Structure 1
């Protein structure tokens, strides 16, 4: 009996020896969903910045290109069915990612590129190097088939215009979709959406395509500090479900439900999600939050 071929996903993100961010947050969810991550690390740090001081190195674009060249020589890039990227330390690394996306799509034209446009958050402001927001707006967006900005990052991508209603967010997303790869099937998922027309005691995730939109709401968990790597876990679970062939509302509902379950099980004061201890929540979250259709 032949063994079914496991889908490969190229994930180009940061790496920490201790903690769950970047590739170290994305790899286990992908594996649990039956997908083999091909991880290329953009940095190697002892721990993520949530712990304070850290040691390690940021890898150069030339280093990333060298690793990708080795994968190319093994025929690995042409076997990947999707690309995942998150925090960018350097716009030059971003260009290497886009080059890899083109190569993956040469073999698999419908391959997803999920770009988590990490730039900042409410309270912290922009925490990436100058040039990264411009690169994401002007270069990465046109190659991405799925983006997963938080509310703050989505406003940055829109030029800084505040979004105060769900209706305004949907309309802004529809305008942005026209600039993405294959606009008819592209997907924008806005996380941590807090607008005046949503309940204060809930946290919303809005998913928008060219023709449809869905809203997923969960109770707000007041956890201080919030664990690092939440966006990385969310994006990997979302992409995993899309690769499995699930529809956008099912994939978004599953990703939200998994992340909620993991955050709910995070002990106060912990800086990381309990990914390993609660790995069952990746496959079968204990509480399902449905994606409900909304119109603009």
Structure 2
């Protein structure tokens, strides 16, 4: 499998491509990373150095890949945080050209906008752009519950309302939806859930909620679920593998006392997930 991953990059820590690439490689996926920024560290520190990469320069890198004859071999286009409208245009152009070269390729979009705690943390134009242009072009999306609500104009909280919101966003284009950080009032205390929905059903997995905020964990989640699903077409298996791997990554990070993801130290969790969490079909 080959993935073209268009995301940010940092030298210190693990977010964007600096979080997604290694876990994908560790499960046998060939990744072509294209960077949208090249920062010293993620912006959560409040200070960072390094350049934003202009949309024209990002486009040139992708054109260079195309000139090597790679487009027919690409199975997945993966994107995460989109810092500008211009980057979205570049991604959508790449999706169209790659799908023309390989009709079996899929576009997986993590529609990063914010979360229930912080609200939206992207430029005001980005959520509208994601809802109206980017998500409809995607085959697979990985919003959190807050982002799902914005995409659909709903307020999902129960399992039933979350499933209804997923159905609404699926009507706009993407057929596969992974909802991360599902929080519903009737779940067990101290737990967190993920929900995967496809044309053939819906599945949920419950894990303990760990007391940490780990930048980049969503990027790892989107990458692993996309790869597992693209490889097998089995959403339940992809959900189980992803939940197992990401939980162990987060637990290792918590136990280390470090702020940054223990990405390399957790590599066995990607290659050989323990599959310790049961996946339940809910539709």
TM-score bucket (shorter structure)? over 0.9
| SS of the residue 1:191 aligns to | strand
Q: Taking structure 1 as reference, are residues 267 and 221 closer, same or farther at Cα in structure 2, changes over 3 Å only?
A: closer
Question: Matches of residues 1-296 of structure 1 in structure 2 within 5 Å?
Answer: 7-159=1-153, 161-181=154-174, 186-223=175-212, 226-267=213-254, 269-295=257-283
CA contact (8 A) 1:174 1:209 kept: no
Q: What are the ranges of 5 or more consecutive residues in structure 1 without an aligned counterpart?
A: 1-6
Q: C-alpha distance in 1, partners of 2:115/2:136? A: 23
Question: After alignment, is 228-237 or 57-66 more displaced?
Answer: 57-66
Of the structure 1 ranges 271-280 and 261-270, higher mean CA displacement relative to structure 2 is found in 261-270
* SS of equivalent residue, structure 2 residue 4: strand
Residue-by-residue CA offset, 1:70-112 (whole Å, 9 max, x unaligned): 1111112232111000000101101110111111111221212
Unaligned runs of 5+ in 2: none
Q: Is the 8 A contact 1:234 1:259 kept in 2?
A: yes
Paired positions, count: 282
Counterpart CA distance in 2 for 1:238 and 1:210 is 16
- Relative to the length of structure 2, the TM-score reads 0.95
How much does 1:196 deviate? 1.3
- What is the Cα-based RMSD across aligned positions, in Å? 1.4
Q: Distance in 2 between matches of 1:274 and 1:195?
A: 29
Structure 2 CA distance for aligned equivalents of residues 270 and 287 of structure 1: 25
Higher helix share: 2
Pairwise CA distance, 1:134: 0.8
| Contact preservation (8 Å) 1:9, 1:38 | yes
Instruction: Find runs of 4+ consecutive structure 1 residues off by over 2 angstroms.
Output: 267-271, 285-288
- In 2, Cα distance between equivalents of 1:59 and 1:207: 33
